[in-house]
Structure 1
Amino acid sequence: MTGKKRKLDEVGSGAEERFKEEVRRKVFAGGGRSGPRRMARLTENGIRALRYFEGPDYEPAAEADAGGRLSTVVLGPGSYVTRRSDANSKLPQAIVAARTHYGIGFKAGHLVNAEFGGDGQNARNLTILTPSANSAMRAFDNRVKDACGQLWHAYVAMNKLGIEVANLEFGIALSIAVGTDTWSVVPPGDCIADELTCTARLHRPVNVQALLDAAAPDPGDRLQGWRSQLDAATQAVNEVIRLLAEANASSLIDNRQNGADASDDEAMTDDEDVTDDEDALGV
């Protein structure tokens, strides 16, 4: 190779290296050997927009006037919104006749809670509940609300780690099923179920450490403070798991006639799905 050719190759090689370094500066930003990687992250409003990964979906009961048979939804980190119940107190259709016939202050009970996006104006998401059953259902719902708060914290921490959370679909799957045994075989008792079964489970569980290792295998490429965010995300995921286990401990809702309170003085009101903690998400 001639000296002139060698010199041109060296110039070309240097230009290529300078180009690569320019690209590197756009991808990396200060710190470590080449700095932590600048990964795509969502804003908090972007995380809030991750409300539902599936549903809410409602299946009607066999008896047309009984309301719903099964409601399902997969909750995302932005799903829980504090609000008062929107339940129509005159739905399902059989509830007015049931109040008169049994002298009980039946509630128009949400299957999927209003604060999880459940529609209180859609009879397929409502069922006829005794006051005691309606109160018992809050034990399940309140633990799920707490779990939603921890789900939010998990997403915020994972997002800060540089994990691409937009397509994770890590969430909470709810299934609220109305039993087939009823108070009677004739109206309106055939529209009142003896029990409900509420189930909460993880949807697409995550391993935060594995996600971080995939996003930034070299610790030198990770964002400043990544260890504390890893701990926060892992703890939040574990709290979601714990809270869902507590919710499932209250999964069976007794709606039998012998547990009803005929003296309840809220006979014509709907369920009151109001959280005890209006700042559950901490945002």
Structure 2
Amino acid sequence: MLTITSWKELSITLLFCALISHSFASTFTITNNCPYTIWPGTLSGSSSPQLSTTGFQLNAGQSIRIPSVTGWSGRIWARTGCIFDESGVGSCQTGDCGGKLECDGLGATPPASLFEITLGTGDTKDFYDVSIVDGYNLPMVATPQGVPGGCNATGCVSNLNMGCPKELQVVGGDGGGNVVACKSACEAFGLDQYCCAGEFANPTTCRPSFYSSIFKRACPRAYSYAYDDGTSTFTCKASDYAIIFCPMNGVKRPNGGERTPIEESKMEKFPGMTSSSNILLPFPMLIGLLTVYISINKSTA
């Protein structure tokens, strides 16, 4: 027979377990599937603590798991063409964060493809997206893991650098004339109509532009301009988010390597990647490929 003391102990144990379950936080598994080294960076929102690392080197084929805390909000992106000295000071061709290996509270210098997330607390769901509002430097996909029934993957698998309009192109400084990133129209021209500023600072007056429409056609699930919420924000409650750069492993090296770029026509092979404000369709072929890729990596880890 349980005594009053044992009931108290049981209650405390149950309360502790409940607190643990409600303070559950996801992890971010970041994978470099590009045929070259990248330098991912992380930036926490104003009310969130910094993650255990804010910038690091990730060689081709490598993965890293970064734990978060409940309610964490922030961004994750990848830098390319970086050179750092032994003290972690240097520069990157794209996505630079103040010329440091550890970004330490500094965000990505546009243009850069961004994974953005706010983790829910308790039973509140997570909100996440992939944004190219600030321009684009690498293809990336974010896939929630450990969710019964699954959640929507999102991202941009196209190599936008290949079809980037000349006026938006960022050309590398290696003398090869290679396009290493694609600016947003806001950054390129600084006009309110492209930046959703001034009289255009609301969803009624700020509409998709010619340039954001190019991005949207190539990457239907990614944010293409500031008010592109209907087809670009997703919710889930996942134990892990797999963030894969160069998910199709077909991106040309920034220094002019021999990899075949991802052609925009390949988007036709992903029938679920269509824009809709009313229904969020999975991209079945991509999820299948990612599932196989992740399971293989887990089995070899």
Relative contact order higher in (CA < 8 Å, ≥ 6 apart): 1
TM-score by length of 2: 0.26
TM-score by length of 1: 0.27
Higher strand residue share: 2
Higher helix residue share: 1
